[in-house]
Structure 1
Amino acid sequence: MKVGIIGTGNMGRILIEALMESSAISPSNLIITNRTIEKAYCLKDQYPEVNVYTQTSQLIRESSLIFICVKPLDIYSVLSQYKPYFTRGKCAVSITSPISVDQLESVLDCSCARVIPSITNRALSGVSLLSFGKNCDEGWQRLIYEKISSISTPVMIDENITRVSSDIVSCGPAFFSFLTQRFINGAVEETEIDQETATILASEMLIGLGELLKKEIYTLPTLQEKVCVKGGITGEGISALEENLGDVFQKLFRATHEKFEEDLEGTRKQFG
């Protein structure tokens, strides 16, 4: 079975690299294209057996499963322009949160799904968020779940929690990278530790924390209890966080949802 990927930007490239490294798809069965075709050829340098097509119509014709990895406001034009090529036996998969599977099905006659990946999938880890259209064939559902399982933990979500789920899974790595960098900067500014040493220590701490959670040795609350001895140094640090963080995360989710509403409004105008 041939798999096509339209768009080799940040997330498209991560998806391609993860699928290749997990051997979920053989390179010879993968067809890719991009508006700036040079970006697609850069991936072919990395995976010589991957097929690069300059014509999107040809990619869709020759692929059975097609991932659409373009910006939200570019998806409608791709669907409408190439609709005749998305025949009933195929499956179209969007990777962007503002486009629902219902919107995909309103344009296309083939099976439709949405897979929202995360940068963590590049390490064959983390979560991918899945939604299937009402008319998505059960065979396609099983196949997509199987392929995505090779690069992540697939989690089915309802439409009403799409944004917050994506905030946690897809945006979360950037948010916590920002917080970690601030954590490191604070250590460097307030003590004699250097940037390189602080970065190594913080990075290894996060990896260890992830392993504790992955192996279910501790839960998040238990971790705090184990480290935070009453009247100890960690407790003082937690108190500083409680005093200064305030409602920062509530504001974060408000901000992402406000931007999401803007994106939704744009897609509603296109899809009707």
Structure 2
Amino acid sequence: MTTHDVIRTQKIGIMGVGNMGQAVLSAFIDSGIVPRENIIIANRSERKLKKVANEFQVRSVNTNEQLIDESNVVIIGVKPQDLYQAIEPIASSFHEDHVVISLAAGIPLASLEKLIPNAKKILRVLPNTAAKIKLSVIAYSSSAGATHHLKWIEDLLSTMGFVVAVEDGEMMEAMVVASSSGIGFVYELMMYWQEWLGERGISANIAKQVTTKVFAGAAAMAEAAPQVSFEELLRKVTSLKGVTAAGLESIRELEIERALRISFEKAAMRDKELGQTWIKID
């Protein structure tokens, strides 16, 4: 039996269909690997639940308990601050055969294992919103009980993009910042690009297209040369005493790298805070 065959036998429940839940749902359906009829969704807002169920043509249930009872794989897509209140009252509904996937930032794997002691196959998974277009980076860490299932689970996650296994803790924290939050950081830079072009008479629409193509082109060139470092790629597009070199000199004088590192560290601190302010289970 192939990993795809295994995936097709799973009943997958998605608890919480906000932006990320819908991105995951879309990726699963579009992959053709997950049968639409094998997906169940639940959501706190009944109105949103009906809307998403109609849009994606999947079955919805009214309670999280029912979703757990009818699923082999339970994907928890609720917000970090809501996770304890959503799961603690129904934790006994989980059993050792469930594969439980949490999408919540800031909540470490150890806390999830304490919250859901009956479940032995637990994963902390952090995709980013590019899952909508199957170009997400998906970092995950897993409990020991999930080890023998990781091949098909990785294939399931890969419907959203590029899957990276990391240790929970500092490595996962780094992936939260660089990958999950990274999309937002890149958009911020793209805004500056577009605004600068606009100040010089380029229309907003054209400026956005130019900016998007520049970032996409740079990314595509880097991806096409996996053995070439970013430093070498930069050297190849920078002529001595040329236009690019002048701009890069200013970037370095203004310590843009330092500013970005501070921003990354501040985001990492917030990820820690989410875990610390969440109700701990001792």
Equivalent runs, 1:1-272 vs 2, <5 Å: 1-48=10-57, 50-108=58-116, 109-110=118-119, 111-136=121-146, 138-139=148-149, 141-159=150-168, 160-189=170-199, 191-216=200-225, 218-244=228-254, 245=256, 247-267=258-278, 269-272=279-282
Give, as a single letter, the amino acid of the residue that structure 2 aligns with 1:231.
K
Matched positions, count: 268
- Distance in 2 of aligned mates of 1:240 and 1:196: 28
Provide the identity percentage.
Answer: 22
Shift of 1:114: 1.2
Give, as a single letter, the amino acid of the residue that structure 2 aligns with 1:38.
R
In structure 2, relative to structure 1, the CA distance for the partners of 1:261 and 1:101 (3 Å cut) is: closer
Give, as a single letter, the amino acid of the residue that structure 1 aligns with 2:249.
S
Cα pair 2:29 2:35 within 8 Å, conserved: yes
Q: Secondary structure at the match of 2:280?
A: helix
Q: Secondary structure at the match of 1:113?
A: strand
Shift of 1:258: 2.2
- Distance in 2 of aligned mates of 1:58 and 1:237: 58
- Distance in 1 of aligned mates of 2:26 and 2:13: 14
Cα pair 2:41 2:53 within 8 Å, conserved: no
- Distance in 2 of aligned mates of 1:228 and 1:251: 27
Q: Secondary structure at the match of 1:135?
A: helix
* Unpaired segments ≥5 residues, structure 2: 1-9
* Unpaired segments ≥5 residues, structure 1: none
Shift of 1:137: 5.3
Cα pair 1:97 1:162 within 8 Å, conserved: no
Shift of 1:153: 1.4
TM-score of the two chains, using structure 1 as the length reference: 0.93
Give, as a single letter, the amino acid of the residue that structure 2 aligns with 1:72.
P
Q: Secondary structure at the match of 1:247?
A: helix
Shift of 1:201: 1.0
Moved over 6 A (4+): none
- Distance in 2 of aligned mates of 1:246 and 1:105: 37
Q: Spell out, residue by residue over 1:111-164, the C-alpha distance to the aligned partner (whole angstroms, 9 max, x if none).
A: 21111111122211231011111233512x222111012221111111222211
RMSD: 1.6
Cα pair 2:14 2:21 within 8 Å, conserved: yes
Q: Secondary structure at the match of 1:8?
A: coil
Shift of 1:59: 0.6
Give, as a single letter, the amino acid of the residue that structure 2 aligns with 1:68.
I
- Distance in 1 of aligned mates of 2:109 and 2:257: 37
Q: Secondary structure at the match of 2:65?
A: helix
Q: Which moved more, 1:245-254 or 1:80-89?
A: 245-254
